[in-house]
Chains A and B, each alone.
Chain A
Amino acid sequence: MKYLLALAGNQNSGKTTLFNALTGSNQHVGNFPGVTVEKKEGQILKHKDMSLVDLPGIYSLSPYTSEEVVTRDFILKENPQAIINIVDATNIERNLYLTLQLMELGKPMVIALNMMDEVRASGNSIDVKKLSDHLGVPVIPIAASKNEGISDLITEIERIASNGTPPPKLDFCVGEVHKAIHSIAHIIEDQAKKAGYPLRFAATKMVEGDSITADVLGITQSQMHIIHHIVRSMETALQTDREAALADMRYTYIEKICAECVVKHQETHEQLRSEKIDRLLTHKYLGIPIFLLIMLLIFALTFSVIGPPLQDLLQMGIDFITGVLSDTMQTANVSPWLRSLVVDGICAGVGSVLSFLPIIVLLFFFLSLLEDSGYMARVAFVMDKLLRKIGLSGRSFVPMLIGFGCSVPAIMATRTLSSDRDRKMTIVLTPFMSCSAKLPIYGMITMAFFPHHAALVMITLYVTGILVAILSGLLLKNTLFKGNSVPFVMELPAYRLPSGKSVLLHMWQKAKDFLRKAFTIIFLAAIVIWFLQSFDWSLNLVADSADSILASIGSVIAPIFIPLGFNDWRASTALIAGFTAKEAVVSTLTVLTGAVGESGLSMALQGIFPTSLSAFAFLAFAILYMPCVAAFAATKRELGSYHAAIGAAAYQTGVAYVVALLIFQIGRLFIG
């Protein structure tokens, strides 16, 4: 028999560490259907018949966030044989709050009581046996980061998956709430059965006023009327409202259990240590400088110390393979177009994108360190006020900052944002942060037009990018992403040493993700661009790329840029080619102008752009318009559809056009 198991628990409870400990590296990452919530699945070690799904980290089963809805949907619809509920023993009260709700779902369950090592080391204790008796659910003490208790847990999972019974109905509710749950249970009994909802869960949710459950059960209007009546009389009797009444009841029950099972003399060493570390890292004056310093260090290591040598090495490998392929095909007398496809199309295209790989792996190494250590939550805490004005929260700050290095890992990093809306908005805004691949375009234009003001031009454009992101944020906040912002109520977990295994796994997953993209969508895009660049309309291989399809498309769209101050097919063609990678804008212009050397290119550019102002407008457009194909592929993956990704790219291109237009038209008034 095949078993399906669900792993559920709070954020920061060590859920990912436990998932890794249970499954090893045998994991498959995808999305839950219909939403961009990550779904990880893996087989339990040495138990090929047991498939474990890692559910999102949540604190409750409310109807308000997609993570919480996904969790309840998965458990109720996919029918796992058992739930593994991970509970952080150092923070047991709040963790058990979710446990009580999971128990209502009527599935066999085991509690993995994590971080018991920290509890013990601090001289505190938890009576596991008593806790298990109180809840009526087996409790296994573990320390996931040290691999302690994992084999006991697996044995227990085996047992409950094959012949476990659902948890007992806890009488955590007393008096008026109890009365209300029972009265409502009578009314909805048949509907709950038909929908496959456990009656207790359904009744509790109706008391809470959960609209999703009401829809699923198909509660009629007259039933709703009666339910409202029951709830209202409960509220009057308790002098509080329905949601507060239930939350209060659950916590009161948990406090009672903890009073009997938990002995706590002091905060754990980790909690005390965290308070000390935070005295520095979230310090009133030092907090922000320290954060910027850490980011600077990460950037320096990634983009100048470790990254480039690795990139060079990879490039050498790619060049070598390209050389061998080219020579082999030449000796084998392969037709020139096929050789060009392989060498100029596939090898060059995919190769240029692959050279990003070291940077992505390195950035994700540092990002996992920040995330797993608990520092990322502090960054959000420190930076929140700044980003709130544009409708985002502090959590979005790091992905945006990464965007200055490379949009691809920046977009991939939005995965850690807990709010769907924030994630989408961050993905759309991040590419406005000028990435490092755009530097050659700066270099080319400043050399030709602003040789004495290179730094000024660069700063102006970086600032323009940031301003555009801010204005865009304001615009999106008040239009497309109106209203439904998720509140910023965030736990600051205790600092912990990241586990090497988790960090490596995370890096490997991101690398795999990127490689898959490189060999699918990026591969295709490289072939398409190569084709357009190498053939004319009658499908003859062209010797001069000025005769190619791409060039003729370039000439057709060139007039679009007249309001921006330039009208040259070479400029527009270069912009199209920039879709493969931003550096291609420079290389395409070089090829199309036939310029030799830097000064030659500068001369040629002065022929293309009539004024410095028009060159500046071109530069602004090139900085802001749709991201390269790798970033596009990342956007597609994170937003969940081509439709949304194309929408985002169109929006970015539109914004770029408007900004460049304003620069040229307003600038003209002053410069003449």
Chain B
Amino acid sequence: MTLDQLKPGEGGVITSIGGEGALRRHLLDMGLTPKTYVEVRKVAPMGDPIELFLRSYVLSLRKDDAAKITIAEVKQVKKP
């Protein structure tokens, strides 16, 4: 499953980061590394980007980019 498919209130553990170049490096630098737990908090009013919570901070990401991150162990953490 990829990160963009998660609904608000769902969380999971990152298994891999795709993409390349500046984008991929930036995702890694922001702490989106394998084995990291991440939650989807919200979707922007126009349906994109999405709001994530990881490593005690809030990060926003476009869905296209989130689609490059694969997620496992998805579970519901909060009521949306």
Contacts and interface: CB of A to CB of B under 8 A. Distances in A.
Interface in B39-75: 41-49, 51, 55-62, 65
Nearest to B48: A385
B45 A288 contact: yes
Interface string B13-54: 000010001111111111101111000011111111101000
A287 B44 CA distance: 9
A488 B49 contact: yes
A243 B44 contact: no
A275 B28 CA distance: 24
A interface: dominant SS: helix
A247 B17 CA distance: 11
A492 B62 contact: no
Contact of A283 (B22, B29, B45): B45
Nearest to B47: A385
A490 B45 contact: no
Given A247-B28, A283-B45, A385-B49, A488 B62 contact: yes
A300 interface: no
A274 B28 contact: no
Q: Which of A377, A491, A494 has the most CB of B within 10 A?
A: A491
A389 to B, nearest CB: 11
Contacts of B28: 243-244, 247-248
A386 B60 contact: no
Contacts of A381: 44, 49, 51, 60
Nearest to B55: A93
Nearest to A288: B45
Contacts, number: 122
B22 A65 contact: yes
Contact of B27 (A93, A489, A493): A489
A377 B61 CA distance: 12
A240 B15 CA distance: 11
A487 B44 contact: no
Nearest to A91: B57
Nearest to A275: B41
B62 A287 contact: no
Contact of A267 (B31, B42, B51, B56): B56
Size category of the B interface is: 35 or more
A489 B65 contact: yes
B12 to A, nearest CB: 17
B45 A62 contact: no
Interface residues of A, number: 46
A272 to B, nearest CB: 12
A306 to B, nearest CB: 30
B34 A248 contact: yes
A94 B31 contact: yes
A640 to B, nearest CB: 22
A244 to B, nearest CB: 6
Q: Which of B27, B46, B59 has the most CB of A within 10 A?
A: B46
A248 B25 contact: no
A481 interface: no
Given A64-B22, A283-B45, A285-B45, A91 B55 contact: yes
Contacts of A380: 60
Contacts of A275: 41
Contacts of B42: 278, 282
Contact of B29 (A59, A278, A282, A287): A59
Nearest to A384: B49
Contacts of A284: 43, 45
Contact of B56 (A93, A278, A382, A493): A93
Given A282-B42, A287-B45, A492-B51, A487 B65 contact: yes
B45 A487 contact: no
A251 B45 contact: no
Contacts of B62: 384, 388, 487-488
B79 to A, nearest CB: 13
A97 B32 CA distance: 12
- In this complex, the member of A62, A91, A385, A486 whose beta carbon has the largest number of chain B beta carbons within 10 angstroms is A385
A565 B29 CA distance: 57
A251 B33 contact: yes
B30 A94 contact: yes
A492 B58 contact: yes
B45 A382 contact: yes
Interface string A371-392: 0000001001110111010000
Nearest to A60: B29
B14 to A, nearest CB: 10
B21 A64 contact: yes
A243 B31 CA distance: 12
A490 B34 contact: no
A295 to B, nearest CB: 15
A314 B44 CA distance: 43
Contacts of A251: 31, 33, 36
B17 to A, nearest CB: 6
Contacts of B57: 91, 94, 491
A60 B26 CA distance: 8
A282 B45 contact: yes
A62 B17 contact: no
A436 B46 CA distance: 29
A283 B45 CA distance: 7
B51 A487 contact: no
A94 B54 CA distance: 10
Contacts of A64: 21-22, 25-26
16 contacts: A59-B29, A59-B30, A94-B55, A244-B17, A251-B31, A267-B56, A282-B45, A381-B49, A382-B45, A384-B48, A384-B60, A388-B62, A488-B49, A489-B60, A491-B30, A494-B58
Across the A-B interface, give the 10 residue pairs with the lowest CB-CB distance, nearest first: A60-B29, A247-B28, A64-B22, A385-B46, A487-B23, A492-B58, A287-B45, A91-B57, A93-B55, A248-B33
Given A244-B28, A244-B33, A264-B56, 10 more contacts: A59-B26, A59-B29, A243-B24, A244-B34, A381-B49, A382-B45, A384-B48, A385-B46, A388-B62, A489-B23
